C-alpha cells in the first residue's frame, strides 16, 4: 500500500509540517538511520532544520508509533519505519552495519520471559551481534571486489551518510512517498 507521508502523520493525529514530513521521509528512505543522518537528509530536502527540531520530531514520531527507535549497546539511537511486526536486528561488531531479521519461531517467542516478575510484557528487543559476511571475508582476504563494494555501500547507508538508496525488506511495510 502506498500512502503519503502527510497521510501517515494525519492518521496518527500529527500536524503535517515541512520539517516533520522531511524527518519521516528520511527515516523511510534509510532504515536504521541516526538523528545526524536525518538532519543531513532533511537539510538537503528542505534547506534548513535545527538539530533540536529533528530530535523533537523523532521523539514525537516514535511516541505515536509511526517509527521505531532502537538503541544497540554502545551505539547511537537508530530509527526505522518497519513497525508492523516483531522483528530483530543483526549488528556487525566491526562495521556497525545493521540489518533486519525476522523472529526466529512463532508469533512472539521472545515475549515469554522465564520469569516476568509481575510485568506485563508487550515488547522485546533482541540484537544479534557478530561479524557480517563481508567483514569475515575481508579478514580472510578472500572477498571479491564486487561484494566488498556492495558492503561498503551498505556500511555507508548504515552510517547515515548522505547517500540515498532503496532497500529490500523481508516483510510487509508501508511505502511513504512525497
What is the average pLDDT score of the chain? 80
Q: Is residue 169 part of a domain?
A: no
Instruction: Collapse the DSSP code of 13 into the 3-class scheme (helix H, G, I; strand E, B; otherwise coil) and give the result.
Output: coil
Same domain, 90 and 23: no
Q: Distance between terminal CA atoms of the chain?
A: 14
For residues 129 and 125, which has the higher predicted lDDT (pLDDT)? 129
Same domain, 45 and 110: no
Gap between the Cα atoms of 127 and 20, Å rounded? 29
The answer, yes or no, to whether residue 137 has pLDDT greater than 90, is no
Gap between the Cα atoms of 67 and 58, Å rounded? 8
The answer, yes or no, to whether residue 68 has pLDDT greater than 90, is yes
The range of the structural domain enclosing residue 29 comes to 1-84
Gap between the Cα atoms of 5 and 71, Å rounded? 24
Q: What is the CATH number of the domain that holds 57?
A: 1.10.10.10
The whole-model pTM stands at: 0.71
**How many independent structural domains does the chain possess?**
2
Average pLDDT over residues 6-15: 95
Query: Percentage of the chain with pLDDT > 70?
Result: 74
Amino acid at each position: 500500500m502506498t500512502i503519503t507521508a502527510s497521510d501517515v502523520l494525519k492518521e496518527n493525529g500529527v500536524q503535517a509540517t515541512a520539517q516533520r514530513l522531511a524527518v519521516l521521509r528520511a527515516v523511510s528512505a534509510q532504515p536504521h538511520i541516526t538523528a545526524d543522518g536525518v538532519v543531513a537528509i532533511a537539510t538537503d530536502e528542505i534547506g534548513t532544520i535545527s538539530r533540536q527540531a529533528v530530535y523533537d520530531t523523532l521523539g514525537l514520531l516514535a511516541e505515536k508509533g509511526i517509527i521505531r527507535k532502537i538503541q544497540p549497546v554502545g551505539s547511537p539511537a537508530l530509527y526505522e519505519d518497519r513497525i508492523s511486526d516483531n522483528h530483530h536486528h543483526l549488528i556487525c561488531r566491526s562495521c556497525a552495519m545493521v540489518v533486519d531479521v525476522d523472529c526466529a519461531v512463532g508469533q512472539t517467542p521472545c515475549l515469554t520471559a522465564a520469569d516476568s516478575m509481575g510485568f506485563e510484557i508487550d515488547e522485546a528487543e533482541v540484537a544479534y551481534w557478530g561479524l557480517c559476511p563481508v567483514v569475515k571475508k575481508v579478514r580472510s582476504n578472500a572477498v571479491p571486489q564486487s561484494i566488498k563494494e556492495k558492503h561498503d555501500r551498505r556500511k555507508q547507508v548504515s552510517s547515515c551518510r548522505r547517500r540515498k538508496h532503496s532497500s529490500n525488506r523481508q516483510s510487509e511495510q508501508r511505502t511513504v512517498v512525497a
